Amino acid sequence: TLTAAGLAAILLAVPATLLVDHVIIGVLIAGSLVATLLARRGKTYLASGMVIGAMWLCAMTATGVHGVIGSTLPLLVMSIALAALWGGARFALGLIAVTSVFLLVAAGTFGAILPPHVPTDPTVDLLVIIGQFVFLAVLVSFLSSSLGGMRDQFRAREQHLATTTEELASSRHALA
């Protein structure tokens, strides 16, 4: 959450950032804050869905406003990959279908359905891409830490089960 807020502050300082970009950044930060609160209350599945949903929604909104540009595509791919892990293959395939149709609409394949695209500043695009990779690095770090904790819990439970099984076997032999 602090990483997102820090990157947002840098991005908002760039003069070429539009009002809609401020809203998109605000939604991403709000989603991260709500997800952090949910995770601290033990609702990690819901928190994960909140982050993934906020990422996807922000990328789709930026695509609708600015068109199909390179700076939004990494976030779309990352959110869909995470959605596959979070919600399963069917959910991810549905999200891929919706995203693909929206990308075709945003690219103007079916005519002018969306308002005209607002061009972006190359500096903003670069900062957005760097921010996405920093976010990915933080996410990987968090997931690595979480998985390491779960692995340690699994090993402790496995050791406890082995000890209990040995004690049970010893008590059966003592009774026999």
Q: How far apart are CA 30 and CA 140, in angstroms?
A: 20
**What does the pLDDT look like over 141-156, one tens digit per residue?**
767 777 777 788 889 8
Q: In degrees to the nearest 10, what's the CA dihedral of 162, 167, 170, 176?
A: -120
Residue 53 is predicted with a pLDDT of 87
Q: How far apart are CA 126 and CA 122, in angstroms?
A: 6
Q: Which two tokens stand for residue 150?
A: 């779960």
**What does the pLDDT look like over 70-113, one tens digit per residue?**
677 888 888 888 888 888 889 989 989 998 888 888 877 777 77
Residue 144 is predicted with a pLDDT of 75
In this predicted structure, the answer to whether residue 1 has a pLDDT above a threshold of 60 is: no
Q: Which two tokens stand for residue 94?
A: 């549905």
Phi, psi of 155 (to 5 degrees): -65, -40
Residue 37 is predicted with a pLDDT of 84
By the 8 A CB rule, do 127 and 14 touch? yes
